[in-house]
Amino acid sequence: MLTTKKLHPVGICSLCHGITYRAEAIDQRCGRSPNGRRCRGAFRNASRDADWKECTACSTTGTYEARQCPFCNGIGWHFVRPGGL
């Protein structure tokens, strides 16, 4: 089975580092619920190509040895913006 490469996310949560592919979610509150409680962070813009580095373990597919890639959590990318959020 051929797995396609994933596009990099356009936003990342300032608190839990969850990601979004929806541009309209930028500056909105994160909807993830780690540990059973809603995250208090907000999605920040991370849409530039320079903000992301391809995961070399899964070649941006999010799959490693027929499972979710443990190195990028299945995203296929690593957030690398200098200075962070």
Cβ burial, residue 66 (10 Å; 0-12/13-18/19+): exposed
Q: Which residues form the domain of 36?
A: 11-79
Q: Is residue 55 part of a domain?
A: yes
At 1, is the pLDDT very low, low, confident or very high (cuts 50, 70, 90)?
low
Q: Is residue 74 part of a domain?
A: yes
- Give the C-alpha distances (Å, rounded to integers) separating 29 from 1, 17, 60: 37, 12, 27
Q: Is residue 51 part of a domain?
A: yes
Q: Is residue 1 part of a domain?
A: no
Work out how many domains the chain is built from and give that number.
1
Q: Is residue 3 part of a domain?
A: no
Q: What is the pLDDT of residues 35-75, one digit of tens each?
A: 888 999 999 999 999 999 999 999 999 999 999 999 999 99
